[in-house]
Amino acid sequence: MEHIAGVPLPDTTTEEYERVLSAAATAATSLARAEPSKRSHVLRSVADAVDARASELVPLAAADSSLPEGRLRGEVTRTTMQLRMFADVVEEGSWLEAVIDTADPDAQPAPRPDLRRMLVPTGPVAVFGASNFPFAFGLGGGDTASALAAGCPVVAKAHPAQPRLTTAYARAIDEGLRAGGAPDGTFGVVQGTDIGRRLVQDLRITAVGFTGSTAGGRALADLAAARPVPIPFYGEFGSINPVFVTPAAAEERSGTIAGEFLESLLLGAGQFCTKPGLLFVPEQSSIELLVGTAVTDDPFRLLHKGIRQSYFDVSREILEHPDVRPVTASAQADLDDLSVRPVIGVTDARALQQNSRALIKECFGPFGLIVTYTSIAELHATMTVLPGTLTATVHGTDDDPHAAALLNALARCAGRVIWNGWPTGVAVSWAQQHGGPYPATNSVHTSVGPTAIRRFLRPVAYQSVRQEHLPPGLVDANPWGLPRRVNGLLS
Amino acid sequence: MEHIAGVPLPDTTTEEYERVLSAAATAATSLARAEPSKRSHVLRSVADAVDARASELVPLAAADSSLPEGRLRGEVTRTTMQLRMFADVVEEGSWLEAVIDTADPDAQPAPRPDLRRMLVPTGPVAVFGASNFPFAFGLGGGDTASALAAGCPVVAKAHPAQPRLTTAYARAIDEGLRAGGAPDGTFGVVQGTDIGRRLVQDLRITAVGFTGSTAGGRALADLAAARPVPIPFYGEFGSINPVFVTPAAAEERSGTIAGEFLESLLLGAGQFCTKPGLLFVPEQSSIELLVGTAVTDDPFRLLHKGIRQSYFDVSREILEHPDVRPVTASAQADLDDLSVRPVIGVTDARALQQNSRALIKECFGPFGLIVTYTSIAELHATMTVLPGTLTATVHGTDDDPHAAALLNALARCAGRVIWNGWPTGVAVSWAQQHGGPYPATNSVHTSVGPTAIRRFLRPVAYQSVRQEHLPPGLVDANPWGLPRRVNGLLS
């Protein structure tokens, strides 16, 4: 039994586990056959059901997570808009990557048969949601939306930090699936201490979507890779999200940058995977001072005790390093057992380079590290010790002489490069990329946005297959109206 | 020193290894910046150089592999046509998946910044070629073409079965790269007994393309997954390629099927990953008899002694199974140390189901297993024990009552489903899919055809980045003329 949020989440029994997995395997076949309009209808129906139960779900999520209800209502909107956007994407059909090469008897070096290729669902997908976005990265979040859009059943591992929300959220999703006509077994939830390992190793599971810590995620990724039949593991493991302030930007708008940095850092009590964890500022700038002055002393309630303990451990470890000085001097002792006050430290780029293992660590909660640098060359040298990251940001000026080189260098270690903005806030749109070199993710795909669907698909080619035996997406008449590539040309 | 083909292939020294890897890491940066037309020029230049040296290379490949020169000349054509096709694909530009979402201040639940996303090269790629296609799956084969098209430098592990070809083939590729203006380090070759493991674990390597045996490939895939920073391993490991002959097809054209089966089985001495290893025929058909009568007693020279030994071991193990009878009775004793005669066995579907581990094994060389079945239901039941496979084939008739269900079921375990054809022969075209559920491959991508390029790319999004700092592929003016998705619409 998992118990980290005041209320226990009882373990799924072996019988129930078998029922869920076996139903998912059965559902996979009929879901794979369903035409895009049917899948879209299912996604919209789930969105409607979650919206309809929002006023019941939000207080449960708030009780589980200490997150404010306003923020959670926005998250429900994000979640259901995402489901509806994926429904639109499924209908548009380019995600199926349908390609037709008609037979070419004159092809060199050998005649070519009729070949038609399309993506098909991999089969049941295991989804491990995160605790910091109970809705948008939870049971009905991005991974579930992606898998359902692809035509894959989902078996979600419930997060122990959501004991109140889990059953109600799962019921809302289930209602939507039933109303939309999805087959039994399209969605199931399992919970328990060791059930995640079991799920990743289950031969009926064909792919995994995971959002969480590097330690937990890597352990599961290793299990997925070690299976007799390995499966793709799409993990989002953690990120440091460095922000680089050029000398010209610091000169132009130190106050604005300091204020916006704090706003982004403290959003969601600093419990975002896109939190700007490192802020690089010129040595002579006043940003460190401005941040120190402006930072609030108000406490923030964290998601659960585990995150709070880890916040203390990691922030203390960094702050106690001889090359780090505190910018804040907040007492933590007088707080309740879920709350903390912001902690901000400062070090310099040379120290960061020399102590990268000790100082570059993701720390969930309102903790940030300011890093002063003496030259742009030093900044570039520091980049070589940065790990892969979801985002990297540059604050510069209109005619900044260093902007191009910094942005270019940062694209090598980040999935999203930001100019004069902040990394928190991840729009669900076609161009979104939420992922980056390891440990940000362990894949070459995104976990947010429509292209996330590609993770749960594999290609199948049909050679010389008669029209009546082809999937509808590949027959000449194109009854699904898909964008297709025919004999090399997009149509 | 590796020594399996009569001539040893000397180990790469530590100094040379370091030079190659360090040059590849340096080349990665400038290759990533090169515009598509430049990359296309490099690919065409490599094709020209390999073509120009074909008359020198083919005899060396023949001496290494015992493959006939005519076949090898055709393979050179396939290889250079592939490079030229990839050059066209690179120029067309859709592989970059460029997407632009302009800023939307009214977006819900939050205003959306300008977001632009494109695929960028992962960095240096390790390529492990196969021995059975010295050119098309060798140093300059599909994986190398894919990686260069993506903008990634290649470090190829030389195959010990190609001691004569390796240096000359590498030189031709290098000449083409230089003539095309590629940076130093774009392509390098390393060789040696343990150097493959070292390469896969090298932190400068960002992805691996592998074609070879399940045992060797899986060991390397496990190393790639276990790295501190895991990398994608795109392996093609082996395949059984079942062929199903319906009762109606057997009734209509047993002779043709028997003859074509043998032709496909014995192509390249049975050393194709797409060799039809299992032929399912109705119990009452004459196909088994016709195959037994028509099969040649002529010997075939195999690629190297290792494959010959494995051919004897695996075919004997299967043939000695109590449920298997030989269709051929060929003596092997009088042959030279590279030659073998075809071996064909017969069993029944029930025995295959009950002994799937013992009887379903890839066996390189002219070995095949015929499986008789008594009913279509039995055939479908047998499918559940089949492993993932590159291809699966159905031979039926125009109005065959079983075609639809068989094709549909086989698409679940195969990457390419074939109707009334044979799996050998893999056209390089947009719709090709060479890959399938594990162990056929361990990825959701193809290793043949233009979409193979996707394996060596990762997405990067640019948020609110000024036009002059964006990669040319993402600026409004679209100087590369890419097909792009703008605000959701393909243009």
Shortest Cα distance, chain B CAs vs residue A406, angstroms: 10
**Interface contact flag, A115 B427, Cβ < 8 Å:** yes
> Which of A84, A428, A458 would best serve as a mutation to test chain B binding (most B beta carbons within 10 A)?
A458
**Interface contact flag, A101 B451, Cβ < 8 Å:** no
**Interface contact flag, B226 A222, Cβ < 8 Å:** yes
3-state secondary structure of B54: helix
**Interface contact flag, A442 B407, Cβ < 8 Å:** no
Q: Which residues are paired to A419 by β-bridges?
A: A394
Residues of B in contact with A232 (CB under 8 A): 443-444
Tokens of A26: 């059965």
Domain A242-419 has CATH 3.20.20.70: no
Tokens of B408: 């549909």
- Nearest-CB residue to A432 (from B407, B439, B461): B461
**Interface contact flag, A421 B463, Cβ < 8 Å:** yes
* Residue A7 pLDDT greater than 90, yes or no: no
| Cα–Cα distance, B288 to B373 (Å, whole number) | 12
> Which of B33, B71, B206, B460 would best serve as a mutation to test chain A binding (most A beta carbons within 10 A)?
B460
| Cα–Cα distance, B209 to B416 (Å, whole number) | 20
**Interface contact flag, A225 B229, Cβ < 8 Å:** no
Residues of B in contact with A432 (CB under 8 A): 101, 115, 117, 461
**Interface contact flag, B461 A433, Cβ < 8 Å:** yes
Q: To the nearest 10°, the Cα dihedral for A242, A248, A250, A254?
A: -120
**Which residue, among B361, B288, B299, has the nearest Cα to B330 in the 3D structure?**
B299
- Nearest-CB residue to A101 (from B81, B226, B430): B430
3-state secondary structure of B187: strand
Q: Is B225 near chain A, with CB under 8 Å?
A: yes
Confidence of residue A4 (pLDDT cuts 50, 70, 90): confident
**Interface contact flag, B230 A418, Cβ < 8 Å:** no
**Interface contact flag, A430 B488, Cβ < 8 Å:** yes
CA distances from A107 to A101, A102, A112, A461, A487 (A): 11, 11, 6, 18, 12
- Nearest-CB residue to A431 (from B99, B388, B414): B99
DSSP B7: S
DSSP string, B415-456: EEEEESS-S-----STT-----TTTTBSSSS-SSSGGGGGGG
Using one digit for the tens of pLDDT, what is the confidence trace for B104-145? 999 877 899 999 999 999 999 999 999 999 999 999 999 999
User: Which residues numbered 388-407 in B keep a CB inside 8 Å of some CB on A?
Assistant: 388, 398, 403-404, 407
Backbone conformation region of residue B438, classed left if phi is above 0, alpha if psi is from -120 to 50, else beta: beta
Name the catalytic one among A152, A273, A363, A413.
Answer: A273
Shortest Cα distance, chain A CAs vs residue B340, angstroms: 28
Using one digit for the tens of pLDDT, what is the confidence trace for B5-40? 777 888 999 999 999 999 999 999 999 999 999 999
pLDDT for residue A316: 94
Confidence of residue A139 (pLDDT cuts 50, 70, 90): very high
- φ, ψ (nearest 5 deg) of residue B336: -70, 175
Name the catalytic one among A2, A75, A152, A236.
Answer: A236
User: Which residues numbered 20-79 in B keep a CB inside 8 Å of some CB on A?
Assistant: 29, 74, 77-78
**Interface contact flag, B101 A429, Cβ < 8 Å:** yes
Name the catalytic one among B2, B75, B236, B362.
Answer: B236
Name the catalytic one among B2, B152, B273, B363.
Answer: B273
- A236 is known as an active-site residue: yes
Shortest Cα distance, chain A CAs vs residue B429, angstroms: 7
- For residues B344 and B370, is the Cβ–Cβ distance under 8 A? yes
Architecture of domain B14-237+444-486: 3-Layer(aba) Sandwich (3.40)
**Interface contact flag, B415 A458, Cβ < 8 Å:** yes
**Which residue, among B151, B157, B130, B122, has the nearest Cα to B20 in the 3D structure?**
B157
Which segments of B2-104 are extended strands (E)? Answer: 99-101
Tokens of B424: 């050998």
The segments of chain B whose pLDDT lies below 70 read 1, 3
**Interface contact flag, A460 B411, Cβ < 8 Å:** yes
Chain A residue with minimum CA distance to B440: A229
Mean pLDDT on A126-140: 97
- B252 is known as an active-site residue: no
Confidence of residue A1 (pLDDT cuts 50, 70, 90): low
Residues of B in contact with A416 (CB under 8 A): 460-463
Shortest Cα distance, chain A CAs vs residue B63, angstroms: 23
Shortest Cα distance, chain B CAs vs residue A78, angstroms: 6
The sheet that has B207-211: what strands, in order across it? Answer: B187-190, B154-157, B125-128, B207-211, B233-236
Tokens of A250: 């610091």
Residues of B in contact with A112 (CB under 8 A): 427, 429
Q: Which residues are paired to A343 by β-bridges?
A: A367
Using one digit for the tens of pLDDT, what is the confidence trace for A35-82? 999 999 999 999 999 999 999 999 999 999 999 999 999 999 999 999
pLDDT for residue B328: 87
- For residues B67 and B61, is the Cβ–Cβ distance under 8 A? yes
Q: What count of CB pairs under 8 Å joins A to B?
A: 215
User: Which residues numbered 429-468 in B keep a CB inside 8 Å of some CB on A?
Assistant: 429-433, 435, 437-439, 442-446, 451, 455, 457-466, 468
Instruction: Indicate where chain A has its CATH 3.40.605.10 domain(s).
Output: 14-237+444-486
Residues of A in contact with B459 (CB under 8 A): 415, 433, 435, 444-446, 451
* Residue A299 pLDDT greater than 80, yes or no: yes
Residues of A in contact with B464 (CB under 8 A): 418-421
**Interface contact flag, B414 A116, Cβ < 8 Å:** no
Count of residues making up chain B: 491
Cα atoms in the 13 Å half-sphere on the side-chain side of B446: 26
**Interface contact flag, A427 B113, Cβ < 8 Å:** yes
Instruction: Indicate where chain A has its CATH 3.40.309.10 domain(s).
Output: 242-419
Chain A residue with minimum CA distance to B70: A109
**Average of per-residue pLDDT values in chain A:** 96
Using one digit for the tens of pLDDT, what is the confidence trace for A199-234? 999 999 999 999 999 999 999 999 999 999 999 999
Shortest Cα distance, chain B CAs vs residue A491, angstroms: 10
Proportion of chain A above pLDDT 70, given as a percent: 99
Residues of A in contact with B107 (CB under 8 A): 427, 429
* Residue A108 pLDDT greater than 90, yes or no: no
- Residue whose token pair is 């592999």: B65
| Cα–Cα distance, B337 to B294 (Å, whole number) | 25
ipTM of predicted complex? 0.96
